[in-house]
């Protein structure tokens, strides 16, 4: 069936809650996707920073197939070998000593919220000494379930969904004074993204993250990072926290962790391990053998192909190309290059509408996404080459050059 025929069926049977572009993809290999009409695209979006090792990586496909043939799921009524191995691997590759597995970024952030409150509760912070306040940033994005949605500092996502979860407050991102004014002995945790992805690819400074850590320590609050978009090599380090050296108490992961297979995770410091005692939290599928086998394959591929190093090296190249676009007077629609590693964006001037620009880029055979309403976001597979980046940036440049200001 053609794109058009498939989309007409989709419109009848799928809920219209997504603004999907009119393309149906049927195959992928590395950084290339093929649609139902047989047209090939350079994928610099990677399913929103998910397809970390590229499409249909043979090692990942093999591992998923082999695990599916051996054992997929037993629930957390029992242990499975793959979850144990993945926990071992992640405790070796990060400073966290315990891991909890779930299925998505929103679920990982729900876990951070519940862990923060319950941790203080377990330590006796109850009654008028209860610590329930959660502080997150404006323009943040933490997911769509009610807790994660409440944490998300963008009212447009919350419209008509209220009431939100109680005692969650937002502060301007990057503003330590604003945070200082809110953090107090009622605060359970401050939860931040090291780079705000959906908010427009805005990176926190080391001073901000270090200052937040200090403010939290001063009042006994926890400091947690949402690394759902930035983690797992995306910024050229296994975790984006490594750039600042700041150690959070816990961190949420998802997206690229299993290369496209749904899996979320929370890593935590040993001291927090008693924060979620037996029976206090969980999910049926969390850490199932199939998802964990996929995540283990992703780690093997990272090592074999040095993909985190590639993300740093090719990320620097992408950054230079975007800086040049922002500085080029022939592309007045591009005003500012932002980001870290292979999570980067180029902000579009107010005078231009980014939607037709991204649609033009797509017609020319390159896939990107929009973040923060006005930023063309690049989040390619971590195996992308400098030549593929050059190919994509040339297409973006051509689209920017032919963009017309809003009338
Ligand atoms: C930083 C961050 N946190 C959480 C989420 C939500 O993840 P999921 O869509 O897997 O629930 C996202 C998704 O874009 C994200 O970027």
Examine the pLDDT at 30 and tell me if it is beyond 90.
yes
Residue 407 lies in a domain: no
Does the C-beta of 103 come closer than 6 Å to ligand 1?
no
| Among candidate residues 161, 179, 273, the one with its CA nearest the CA of residue 218 | 179
pLDDT of residue 407: 84
Task: Report residue 404's pLDDT band, with 50, 70 and 90 as the boundaries.
Answer: very high
| Cα 128 to averaged position of ligand 1 atoms, centre (Å) | 33
Q: What is the pLDDT of residues 286-300, one digit of tens each?
A: 999 999 999 999 999
Residue 121 lies in a domain: yes
Q: What is the pLDDT of residues 32-86, one digit of tens each?
A: 999 999 999 999 999 999 999 999 999 999 999 999 999 999 999 999 999 999 9
Q: Which atom of ligand 1 is nearest to the CA of 196?
A: 1
Domain's final residue, options 275, 305, 335:
305
Residues 265 and 373 in one domain: no
Domain's final residue, options 305, 338, 355:
305
CB of 343 within 8 A of CB of 200? Answer: no
The distance in angstroms from the start CA to the end CA of the chain is 38
CATH of the domain at 290: 3.40.640.10
Strand duo 343-348 + 375-378: pairing: antiparallel
| Cα 106 to averaged position of ligand 1 atoms, centre (Å) | 6
Domain's final residue, options 305, 321, 354:
305
Going from the C-alpha of 143 to that of each of 109, 124, 229, 255, 290, the distances in angstroms are 8, 30, 11, 12, 24
Look at the chain and report how many structural domains it folds into: 2
Mean pLDDT score, 340-357: 98
CB of 193 within 8 A of CB of 230? Answer: yes
Q: Which atom of ligand 1 is nearest to the CA of 197?
A: 16
In three-state form (DSSP H/G/I as H, E/B as E, the rest C), the secondary structure along 48-85 is: HHCCCCCECCHHHHHHHHHHHHHCCCCCCCCCCHHHHH
Write out the catalytic residue numbers.
141, 226, 255
Q: What is the DSSP string of 355-407?
A: HHHHHHHHHTTEE-EEETTTEEEE---TT--HHHHHHHHHHHHHHHHT-----
**What does the mean pLDDT of the chain come to?**
98
Does the C-beta of 251 come closer than 6 Å to ligand 1?
no
Does the C-beta of 227 come closer than 6 Å to ligand 1?
no
CB of 28 within 8 A of CB of 55? Answer: yes
Task: Report residue 282's pLDDT band, with 50, 70 and 90 as the boundaries.
Answer: very high
Mutate to test the pocket of ligand 1, among 229, 231, 266, 379 (most ligand atoms within 8 A of CB): 229
Reported pTM: 0.98
Mean pLDDT score, 238-261: 98
Q: How far apart are CA 209 and CA 248, in angstroms?
A: 9
Question: Order of strands across the sheet with 366-367?
Answer: 25-29, 32-35, 40-43, 366-367
Q: What is the DSSP string of 199-223?
A: TTSEEPPHHHHHHHHHHHHHHT-EE
CATH of the domain at 372: 3.90.1150.10
Q: Which atom of ligand 1 is nearest to the CA of 264?
A: 10
Percent of the chain with pLDDT over 70: 100
Task: Report residue 149's pLDDT band, with 50, 70 and 90 as the boundaries.
Answer: very high
**DSSP class of residue 331?**
-
Residues 328 and 293 in one domain: no
pLDDT of residue 42: 98
Owning domain of residue 169: 71-305
| Cα 142 to averaged position of ligand 1 atoms, centre (Å) | 5
Q: Which atom of ligand 1 is nearest to the CA of 198?
A: 16
Q: What is the pLDDT of residues 163-216, one digit of tens each?
A: 999 999 999 999 999 999 999 999 999 999 999 999 999 999 999 999 999 999
Does the C-beta of 104 come closer than 6 Å to ligand 1?
yes
Does the C-beta of 143 come closer than 6 Å to ligand 1?
yes
Residues 237 and 359 in one domain: no
| Among candidate residues 89, 183, 69, the one with its CA nearest the CA of residue 137 | 183
């Amino acid at each position: 069936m053609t794109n058009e025929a498939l989309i007409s069926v989709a419109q009848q049977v799928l809920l219209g809650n997504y603004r999907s572009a009119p393309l149906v993809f049927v195959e992928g290999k590395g950084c290339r996707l093929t649609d139902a009409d047989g047209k090939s695209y350079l994928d610099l979006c990677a399913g929103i920073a998910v397809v970390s090792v590229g499409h249909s990586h043979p090692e990942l496909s093999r591992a998923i197939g082999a695990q599916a043939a051996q054992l997929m799921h037993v629930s957390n009524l029992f242990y499975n070998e793959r979850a144990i191995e993945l926990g071992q691997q992640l405790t070796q590759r990060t400073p966290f000593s315990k891991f909890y597995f779930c299925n998505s970024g929103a679920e990982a952030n729900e876990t951070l919220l519940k862990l923060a409150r319950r941790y203080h509760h377990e330590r006796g912070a109850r009654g008028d000494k209860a610590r329930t306040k959660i502080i997150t940033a404006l323009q943040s994005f933490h997911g769509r379930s009610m807790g994660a949605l409440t944490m998300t500092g963008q009212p447009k996502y919350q419209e008509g969904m209220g009431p939100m979860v109680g005692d969650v407050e937002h502060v301007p991102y990057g503003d330590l004074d604003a945070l200082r004014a809110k953090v107090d002995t009622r605060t359970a945790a401050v939860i931040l993204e090291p780079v705000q992805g959906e908010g427009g690819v805005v990176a926190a400074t080391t001073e901000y993250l270090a200052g937040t850590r200090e403010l939290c320590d001063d009042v006994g609050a926890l400091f947690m990072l949402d690394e759902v978009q930035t983690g797992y090599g995306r910024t050229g380090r296994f975790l984006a926290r490594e750039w600042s050296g700041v150690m959070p108490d816990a961190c949420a992961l998802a997206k690229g962790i299993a290369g496209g297979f749904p899996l979320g995770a929370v890593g935590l410091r040993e001291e927090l391990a008693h924060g979620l005692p037996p029976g206090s939290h969980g999910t049926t599928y969390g850490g199932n053998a199939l998802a964990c086998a996929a995540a283990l394959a992703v780690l093997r591929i990272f090592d074999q192909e040095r993909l985190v190093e590639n993300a740093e090296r090719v990320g620097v190249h992408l950054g230079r190309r975007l800086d040049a676009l922002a500085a080029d007077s022939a592309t007045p629609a591009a005003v500012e290059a932002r980001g870290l590693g292979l999570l980067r964006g180029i902000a579009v001037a107010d005078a231009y509408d980014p939607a037709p620009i991204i649609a033009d880029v797509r017609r020319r055979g390159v896939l990107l996404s929009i973040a923060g309403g006005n930023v063309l976001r690049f989040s390619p597979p971590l195996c992308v080459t400098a030549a593929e980046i050059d190919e994509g940036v040339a297409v973006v440049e051509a689209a920017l050059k032919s963009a017309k200001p809003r009338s």
